[in-house]
Structure 1
Amino acid sequence: MADKTQNGRSGRRRRVNCAIRAAALMIIGLFGAANFFVLDYAIERADSFVAETERTLVRNEFSHQIDQVVQYQSQLSFWDKSFNALAHGMPDDKFVHDHMRDWMWSDFGFSWMILTSPDGETILGVHRGEKVSERKAREKLQWVSDLTRRAERAYRAALSPDRGGWQVARAKEDPDLLTPALPEIHVSGMRLIDRVMSIVVVQAVVPKSLYIPASRLEPTLLITVKPVSQKMLSNAEQRLGVHDLGFTPIVTEEPGLAMTPVGGDAYNPMVASWRPNMPGSFVWRSALPQIAIFVLVFAAVMLFVTLRFSALVKALQRSEAKNAFLARHDPLTGLKNRSGFDDDVRRIIAKGNGKPFAILALDLDRFKAVNDRHGHAAGDAVLQAVARRFTERVGTEGSVARLGGDEFSVLLTGDFSRETLVELAEALVRDAQVPIAYDGQLLLIGGSAGIAQFPDHGGSLHDVMVMADAALYAAKHAGRNRAVHAGDIDDGVVVQAGAARAA
């Protein structure tokens, strides 16, 4: 009887022990599962956040590229000489040679430039600087026929009767924009041209006055094609911090490939694609071994979860801070970019209550020759060295920004005298002239500067920037390597500078 009782107690203990072990295993399993699902969700959200941020950056990057191409194209389509050259049909060979080959193709790299009437009866095509047959030009025209129709509609919608002819509506000025506003008669899109993704811009050729005589009502459309080169994509990768940036068909389904439409063109079957910076894989590789160990001990598991989530939050904060920095700063020089510069000026205008400020527009001379002769790396070294010198020169008195390419701008808040501003600008010009050591040789460039003050030279940011650009224009045309104050230029220079910047 005692043996049976002892055996019964032993059986109950075994059953209780099994129950406890099962409960412990269940608790450990539930704890591990909870940690797994929470970590998986956090990683998914982190990956989603980074991917969405990069999508915004990529869209903004290509939008900026398109805006630049529109500005470049307008130098030919929004020009009296182009309009006059089309008075009796297509322009002559000299115009094609001087302006379409030696200028637009050589300087801006437009692979195709096509002048055509809306009906396509009259057409002239230039491919890589060489005039081509009408047949080849019409073949390319088929790929952008929707853009030409939209451009013609935009042109006609902008017309209004005036003095026996027609007037093209002027663009609404935006004081927050640093580039001249163009008439709303251009359309753009991204297309696969010659098996290369390209930016296409179409606009009617109009004079600077925007007045169209009655006999010239029928427009001549200018189509320009700017290929998105591998160099452009590589530069964008460096600016945005992404990898394998390119284009892929919209129907592509490939794991780990992020995609987003760019250019706002509904007829474009290609989208931008890249390999996003996903923190999830890194977190998984780091966390799983520790989870497998610490899940055996409840207290250690709790400590591990706390540490891992803390690291995850820090990783997200660093990722967010990095993306926020890239959105407002130039990744090459660390200076504010155009967006950051605009934000600074808006804050000053909003808080300043009319307090004065000054803008110095600076442009490097002979920088393109350095890039062409010594390569992109040498150009980067020049930009970094100049950025350091400008920042050290300006110090705490203002802020330096790189607006793009070799264009810099300095914002100075306060009531500075004309002499002080000219002295500072001349010092910056001298800083740009100091040789830069690179790869065992000295790189030589120059610089020009234009100075404008608020409110002396304009009642808005746009007006001050126009005057600063006009002063810069005067400095370049006076021999470069000098600084010019907006108070020292006449209205004729302002008009010429505005024409050159809008062209």
Structure 2
Amino acid sequence: MNRTARAKDDGGAPKRLLPLRISSLILIFAAALIAVFTCAMLYVGKLSSEEADRQAYDSEISLFRHVLDSRFIMLARDQFQVGVWDETVKHVSLDFDQDYVADQIVSSLWYNHGLDRTMLVGPKGDLLAYARESEVDFSPQAAALDPDLRALIAKSVAQYMKNRITIKGGFSARAATAGDRGVMLSDIGNIFEGAFQTIEGKPALVSAMAVVPDVNDVALPDGPPVVMVNAKFIDADELAYLRQQLGFRSLDFVPAGKSADTTGAHEDIKTLSGTVVGTFVWQNASPGAHIWSVILPIVVAIGALVAVAALFMAQRLAKMSNQLETSERRTRHMSRHDALTGLANRVRFGEALEEAVAGLPQQPFAVIACDLDRFKAVNDTYGHAAGDIVIRAVSERLVQEIGDSGLVSRTGGDEFIILIHAFTDKRRLDLLCAGIIERILKPIPLDGGEAADVGVSLGVAQAPLCGITGSAILRAADEALYAAKELGRGRAVFAAALEVPEDPAGADPEAAPIKAAE
């Protein structure tokens, strides 16, 4: 080999091949990285879509079960109006009166609440009455009680026997006092049981409740009580109601024995013994398809560059998000709190009241409307700056007195509203109101060595005793406050003594009125 050939062999082709190989490796690595990233994104998209569909399905099932549970509670509330009543105990449990059953029980449950079937079952399990809508049959052979229905009745009886108490002359469901029906309604689970059943060959929601006194003027004898059983058929009207409550795109019911399309969301309903009554089916949401429509174009268009861009954007977005979150918290706080006192304002109080109303009847509460006495004299004598000092001092005293028992809000001027959720009995509310009045009466130091002397008048409304809607409860508290001022100020008046009527426009159409004034 000559020198020229050696020079070409040593410094020619081999020197050009090395950079080409590195470039190829870089390209291969980049392509592999893009491929891995693309596959990872596709896999993540698959997992995300499947998880989104699963969570949507689980949420719909959970919502569906919650709505059905609420429906049983509504049935119990309907039964409560006539089943938990001294008059019913007198005319059914102690001295069976057919006219009373037809006029006061069956007619009320059919015409007022649309319950399709009503049964009264005696302590020995004998059928006392059977009503189809408003028509009552008092013969023992009016209907046959199948084992599932008897099991439901037995559970209701067991609940009563477990939770009954001894009163003068016999037994009752609980130690109720006059006007305490709202508290009894929150304890309705002590005498009530609900289940799906087949009544006359039709699927239905069935509820069973022991007939018990409300104010305990009468007592039940020892032994099992009379049980009231009601059925609401799962018909077109019931399906329409459930669709409205659920907000599903579709909802149908397929009775047992018929073929049901279970490719979408579905839920079997069963009797206490496990027998399938039928199947609810609906078209469930599928957010996974939308996720694919978003992810796939991003994977194709951006590829491997998404990782770098996402890291950069994540840092930027995290900083911006923190700034926005801080600003939002500040803005949200200002929009829901009074600028002078820092207390909750009318907006925040309205939200808290809506939450409290949503918890009725299981979680009763009270509203106290407050209005300062002699506050105008402070402004006229010492000026508005002194008035601001008084308002701030009153706010601090109210917060100190209420503590963790509720929410204090200022709704404007010298007006305050307090939401009490820790207790609702009149004795403790009386003590609380006395403490508020006493604390507010203490002189308030002003600038220049002066002191302001103000008082407070209070109007108290208990829920659900005075109403089951926010507007009705507020109106009751305001009218009680007005009565307190009319009686000479510096005192508390309870709305229950005013027999405040419920607001028809704001009332829940599904909820029967509670006889608080009886």
Q: Structure 1-normalised TM-score?
A: 0.56
Task: Tell me the distance in 2 between the aligned counterparts of 1:88 and 1:172.
Answer: 21
Tell me if structure 2 keeps the 8 A contact 1:191–1:199. Answer: yes
Partner amino acid, structure 1, of 2:122:
S
1:409 and 2:486 are equivalent in the alignment: no
Give the CA deviation at 1:53: 4.4
Task: Tell me the distance in 2 between the aligned counterparts of 1:67 and 1:186.
Answer: 9
Tell me if structure 1 keeps the 8 A contact 2:265–2:281. Answer: yes
- Secondary structure of the equivalent of 2:115? coil
Tell me if structure 1 keeps the 8 A contact 2:192–2:209. Answer: yes
Task: Tell me the distance in 2 between the aligned counterparts of 1:282 and 1:157.
Answer: 53
Distance 1:339 1:135, change over 3 A: farther
Task: Tell me the distance in 1 between the aligned counterparts of 2:142 and 2:313.
Answer: 65
Structure 1 runs not aligned, ≥5 long: 315-333, 360-400, 423-453, 459-463, 482-495
Q: Could you say which residue in structure 2 is the equivalent of 1:433?
A: none
Task: Tell me the distance in 1 between the aligned counterparts of 2:170 and 2:354.
Answer: 40
Tell me if structure 1 keeps the 8 A contact 2:118–2:132. Answer: yes
1:456 and 2:499 are equivalent in the alignment: no
- Secondary structure of the equivalent of 2:294? helix
Give the CA deviation at 1:64: 2.6
1:472 and 2:501 are equivalent in the alignment: yes
Matches within 5 A, 1:28-427: 28-86=34-92, 91-92=97-98, 94-132=99-137, 134-135=140-141, 137-139=143-145, 141-170=146-175, 180-182=185-187, 184-194=190-200, 197-210=203-216, 217-245=223-251, 254-257=262-265, 259=267, 267=274, 269=276, 274-295=282-303, 298-299=304-305, 339=355, 341=357, 350-352=406-408, 357=417, 409=471, 412=474
Task: Tell me the distance in 2 between the aligned counterparts of 1:130 and 1:142.
Answer: 25
Structure 2 runs not aligned, ≥5 long: 322-349, 369-404, 420-462, 485-489, 506-513
Compare CA radii of gyration and give the structure with the larger one: 2
Matches within 5 A, 1:478-489: none
Query: Structure 1, residues 149-180: CA drift from partner, whole Å, max 9, x if none?
Result: 1122222234445445334433799x9x7884
Partner amino acid, structure 2, of 1:279:
P
- Secondary structure of the equivalent of 2:515? helix
- Give RMSD over aligned pairs: 5.5
Partner amino acid, structure 1, of 2:130:
G
Partner amino acid, structure 1, of 2:500:
A
Query: Structure 1, residues 247-282: CA drift from partner, whole Å, max 9, x if none?
Result: 6799x994542659899x685746766444443221
Give the CA deviation at 1:113: 0.8
Q: Could you say which residue in structure 2 is the equivalent of 1:498?
A: 516
- Secondary structure of the equivalent of 1:219? coil
Distance 1:302 1:266, change over 3 A: farther
Partner amino acid, structure 2, of 1:169:
R
Q: Could you say which residue in structure 2 is the equivalent of 1:426?
A: none
Distance 1:288 1:195, change over 3 A: farther
More displaced, 224-233 or 27-36? 224-233
Give the CA deviation at 1:497: 3.1
Tell me if structure 1 keeps the 8 A contact 2:266–2:279. Answer: no
Partner amino acid, structure 2, of 1:351:
L
Give the CA deviation at 1:307: 9.2
- Secondary structure of the equivalent of 1:208? coil
Give the CA deviation at 1:304: 8.4
- Secondary structure of the equivalent of 1:126? strand
Tell me if structure 2 keeps the 8 A contact 1:205–1:222. Answer: yes
Q: Structure 2-normalised TM-score?
A: 0.54
- Secondary structure of the equivalent of 1:113? strand
Distance 1:214 1:234, change over 3 A: closer
Task: Tell me the distance in 2 between the aligned counterparts of 1:152 and 1:95.
Answer: 23
Distance 1:11 1:262, change over 3 A: farther
Distance 1:259 1:9, change over 3 A: farther
Give the CA deviation at 1:411: 5.9
Q: Could you say which residue in structure 1 is the equivalent of 2:327?
A: none
Task: Tell me the distance in 2 between the aligned counterparts of 1:345 and 1:306.
Answer: 51
Of all paired residues, the percent bearing the same amino acid is 17
Q: Could you say which residue in structure 2 is the equivalent of 1:441?
A: none
Task: Tell me the distance in 1 between the aligned counterparts of 2:159 and 2:306.
Answer: 68
Task: Tell me the distance in 1 between the aligned counterparts of 2:29 and 2:106.
Answer: 81
Task: Tell me the distance in 1 between the aligned counterparts of 2:171 and 2:352.
Answer: 43
Query: Structure 1, residues 176-225: CA drift from partner, whole Å, max 9, x if none?
Result: x7884456222222334456553322122233344665767552211111
Query: Structure 1, residues 37-77: CA drift from partner, whole Å, max 9, x if none?
Result: 33344444544554454444434333332222111112222
